[in-house]
Amino acid sequence: MTIAVLPEVAPRTDDLSIWPASTTRLPHGGLAVGGVSLAELAERFDTPAYVLDEGEVRERCRTYRDAFPEAEVLYAAKAFLSRAMVRWVQEEGLGLDVCSAGELELAVTAGFPPERIVLHGNAKSPRDIATALRLGVGRIVIDSPSEIARISAAVGAHGHQKVMVRVVPGVSAGGHDKIRTGTDGQKFGLSPSDGSAQHAIARTLGQPQLELTGLHCHIGSQITTVEPYVVALRRMVELMARMRDEHGVVLPELDMGGGHGVAYRPGEAALDLTALARQLRVELIESCAATGLAVPRLAIEPGRAVAGPAGVALYRVLAVKRTGEKVFVAVDGGMSDNPRPALYGVRYAPRLVGRHSTAAPCRATVVGRHCEAGDILADDVELPGDVHPGDLLAVPVAGAYQLSMASGYNMVGRPPVIAVHAGTARLLVRRETLEDFRSRDIGG
């Protein structure tokens, strides 16, 4: 068991509001997550390392189930997937959203029921489609006109496959240009404004082996307000009503995608899930009543909000360089395990763990070890002025889109994933080693 001890004067950087709920303070500047000391984890598993709080993941799944009891909640595997994650999500009663044969096979071979999986992708490969059909995936979301014929042909004249059509509802939302997907002019979905959505729906309905169960949209990611979802839902219902009028079909499902935003730094806004659930329910009932449409079953696909706040990244400080105005704190990971600051300008809140410092704070730039000046993990953050090589830094809200987007850059190797729960730690995914790099390279 861990003992929570507060330092006499809490440093300004001692805000734990964005950390997993299980986080406790230990003596001498230590911190425990899931009842396990982060400093001990760093000793035992080495750094960099990713820690995933199983209880936090499960609790977040339950929050979704409680907030959306009548909806289908599909965890978006792209945020982070491992066999343990597959099991947790399944045990908590969620379905799964995957976007490749790789994610799909991992999930199904880990025991996830394929009929509760939805396959996405703006460019599905022949292997994606073949794997989906072989494993019996629940639904395939059509994202371009050519897929209709490809999927139909692969299913065969006597086969049967449930599908949805991804629609662009014309709502712009999301934390960065690169992750806004709700309007025309980006690669995802089919637009009602130029008629391509209606055309795809009509063609799909004309394929006897394809069963169109509903429409899908995903307007963007890291969205922190409810309004864009409400507007998107209204437009989706209007389109469903128009399709009923034109084709006489009442589609039973409406998938509103994911994108639910989280706070990466204390004080930042997160999407209010209770408000989202309430307002979507009200809008769904009202807009269906206005068009006389039978209320479809809602589906949602959260990724980040399930996995993100459950993860903590651990790094060891390798060098501290004071140049002019700047203090650079260089750690043993970087853009190969977290490309998000470089890609989207995301700001994180690292903190010193495992040592209590009384030094005055300094403004520092936490950088990685990669061969690029843009390899910055956290720009202009507050750290103790005596930060030095050997110190341990922990970065909260590291569970989503970090390891799943990790690369082999500079052959540093991807960090391990360690699950913590009720005072015990276990390795979920081992560290990538030089042997892994060498064994893939068969060029002689």
Q: Is 288 a catalytic residue?
A: no
Spatial contact of 39 and 425, defined as CB atoms under 8 Å apart: no
The DSSP letter of residue 168 is -
Q: Which of 338, 253, 301, 344 is nearest to 103 (CA)?
A: 301
Q: Which range touches ligand LLP (CB under 6 A), out of 62-70, 265-273, 302-310, 409-417? A: 302-310
Using CB under 6 A as the binding criterion, the count of chain residues that bind ligand LLP stands at 22
Spatial contact of 272 and 46, defined as CB atoms under 8 Å apart: no
Whole-number Å distance between alpha carbons of 98 and 119: 5
Residue closer to ligand LLP (CB basis): 258 or 350: 258
The reply on whether position 120 binds ligand LLP by CB under 6 A is yes
- Min. distance of Cβ 74 from ligand LLP in angstroms? 8
Describe the chain by its helix, strand, coil percentages, rounded to 5.
Answer: 35, 25, 40
Residue closer to ligand LLP (CB basis): 42 or 256: 256
The 3-class secondary structure across 194-218, one letter per residue, is CCHHHHHHHHHHCCCCEEEEEEECC
Q: Which range touches ligand LLP (CB under 6 A), out of 128-136, 285-293, 297-305, 426-434? A: 297-305
The reply on whether position 196 binds ligand LLP by CB under 6 A is no
Spatial contact of 352 and 393, defined as CB atoms under 8 Å apart: yes
- Min. distance of Cβ 418 from ligand LLP in angstroms? 21
Which residues make Cβ contacts (< 8 Å) with residue 366, sequence separation at least 6?
329, 330, 331, 350, 376, 377, 378, 379, 381, 383, 393
β pairing state of 49-53 and 311-323? antiparallel
The reply on whether position 128 binds ligand LLP by CB under 6 A is no
Given candidates 128, 253, 301, 391, which one binds ligand LLP under the rule CB under 6 A? 301
The reply on whether position 169 binds ligand LLP by CB under 6 A is no
Given candidates 214, 303, 309, 350, which one binds ligand LLP under the rule CB under 6 A? 303
Q: Which of residues 77-106 bind ligand LLP (CB under 6 A)?
A: 78-79, 97
Residue closer to ligand LLP (CB basis): 95 or 384: 95
Name the token pair of 47.
Answer: 């750094």
- Min. distance of Cβ 378 from ligand LLP in angstroms? 15
Name the token pair of 310.
Answer: 């459950």
Spatial contact of 22 and 56, defined as CB atoms under 8 Å apart: yes
Q: Which residues are catalytic?
A: 371
Given the rule CB under 6 A, which residues bind ligand LLP? 76, 78-79, 97, 120, 179, 218, 221-222, 257-260, 301-305, 340, 344, 401, 405
